[in-house]
Structure 1
């Protein structure tokens, strides 16, 4: 007879995040002792960290942490292999702890974040590796955003109702306007602009778009004299489609995002959009 119960398996899964078969095997090996089974799974997990390096981690969650006075905020993406782990309390606890660490330490970039100490003698890299071992899946931390200085808020979106947030948007206005900040953040989540304004588009991208527009216009047999105006119109169309300020506002398509901001008397300083795995 089995020396453990279904309740033991359930408890072990909740404690470790390990798969059902791994939990059953650990309970068999530990003669039903849950504490020993936890220890065995942790050891097994540490041994499996290197083996998981080549796996794909395209599931996960985006979490946010906004200061009570909206003067700062962060969003953090933490990835894993399966949606089962992604929606587990332990995985989300790790993600939220990382967000709190970013908020407290303001790392300059992802390399600085990974090298920083989240606990005495424990770097963030070691902390993520520990989660990797405990949860039995490849866990990846490679993106975050942090804004401070203006009015900062976030908008978080679920792509599936039973999953954690998969899209996170962080925005910073030059002055407080909660309604406009939230509306623009929702727009960013839905329309995924690549840049804030036309001035932010890299010169090489503009040149490439201009070259393509000219070649397409010539192939259409347009008069040579009309080429400059048509090409310029198509490049401007590219700006409208791909820059936040140029896009038609999601909540009122008759207005651009720039016009909405102007009417509210605020300036969008910057934004960041993170979608899990993309």
Structure 2
């Protein structure tokens, strides 16, 4: 049994928003297994209490660009963080963020680590970002990074308000036929934040976790055991409809799925990415 430390409790509280006592009980029941503790919290229907109290929101912007390639198009998106939205909305900061995505393109970077290690004159991009603190008077860092490729790449950049730079960027790669509905799909990704393209893309361990949670929740609700498997499958399908892009209801017409949009034009969605300021892993 893993020791139930303050760090473990903090991690589960931040990830679930559950109260401290509920987290302690879940970790104890799970014998210190963080993933299992999260399942227990979900299965018991514990509502988020803290909502990550005490955490400072990250500010900044998402810089993005599509370039042409021999095989079609490539989309790049990089999160550049500042401490305040006051700095994030300045033209100089937006220009700096745009220069970072240009450096990613020039280096053909495939990850934020590759980008940071890229030479930038006599320095590296990492050193350039660190030195930007003097320019903006705030700590500056790179957060999330994404690149996708296909015959067509569509980008939708969402702004919280007119004066702010993009805080959400959705990218989707499609075949040529799918390009006809790529913009609508990008809007969908921005709004609803799907995690996977198809249900086959959902990792097996995630499916198994969802199955366990659905089973425990059904039993806790007093459902007869003989009908629990059917209820579990229904809840799994609901999970897919919420988290799988092609199975989500199309926001502009809930009678259709996003997959239906592509079927109508005889096209395919190949890959997608969604970056939102402040939503990446702590670095």
The answer for the alignment partner of 1:222 in structure 2 is 223
- Output the CA distance in 1 between the equivalents of 2:144 and 2:221: 43
The answer for the alignment partner of 2:9 in structure 1 is none
Is 1:101 aligned to residue 79 of structure 2? no
The answer for the alignment partner of 1:82 in structure 2 is 84
Counterparts of 1:107-186 in structure 2 under 5 Å?
107-118=109-120, 120-186=121-187
Residue 226 of structure 1 deviates from its aligned partner by 1.4
Residue 130 of structure 1 deviates from its aligned partner by 1.9
Residue 160 of structure 1 deviates from its aligned partner by 2.0
* 1:197-227 Cα deviation digits (max 9, x unpaired): 2112222221111111111222233222212
- Secondary structure of residue in 1 paired with 2:116: helix
- Output the CA distance in 2 between the equivalents of 1:108 and 1:161: 31
* 1:256-278 Cα deviation digits (max 9, x unpaired): 11111111111111111001001
- TM-score, with structure 2 as normaliser: 0.74
- Output the CA distance in 2 between the equivalents of 1:138 and 1:95: 14
- Output the CA distance in 2 between the equivalents of 1:143 and 1:227: 40
- Output the CA distance in 2 between the equivalents of 1:148 and 1:235: 30
- Output the CA distance in 1 between the equivalents of 2:98 and 2:179: 23
Q: 2:80·2:142 contact (CA, 8 Å) conserved in 1?
A: yes
Gaps of 5+ in 1: 1-54
Q: 1:103·1:146 contact (CA, 8 Å) conserved in 2?
A: no
- Secondary structure of residue in 2 paired with 1:142: strand
Q: 1:169·1:272 contact (CA, 8 Å) conserved in 2?
A: yes
Alignment CA distance shift 1:177-1:246 (3 Å): closer
Runs of 4+ residues deviating >3 angstroms: 176-179
- TM-score, with structure 1 as normaliser: 0.76
* 1:73-127 Cα deviation digits (max 9, x unpaired): 2111101011111011111111101111112221131111100013x21210111
- Secondary structure of residue in 2 paired with 1:74: strand
Q: 2:150·2:270 contact (CA, 8 Å) conserved in 1?
A: no
Q: 2:178·2:268 contact (CA, 8 Å) conserved in 1?
A: no
Of residues 218-227 and 64-73 in structure 1, the stretch that sits farther from structure 2 once superposed is 64-73
Q: 2:148·2:173 contact (CA, 8 Å) conserved in 1?
A: yes
- Output the CA distance in 2 between the equivalents of 1:150 and 1:56: 40
The answer for the alignment partner of 1:65 in structure 2 is 65
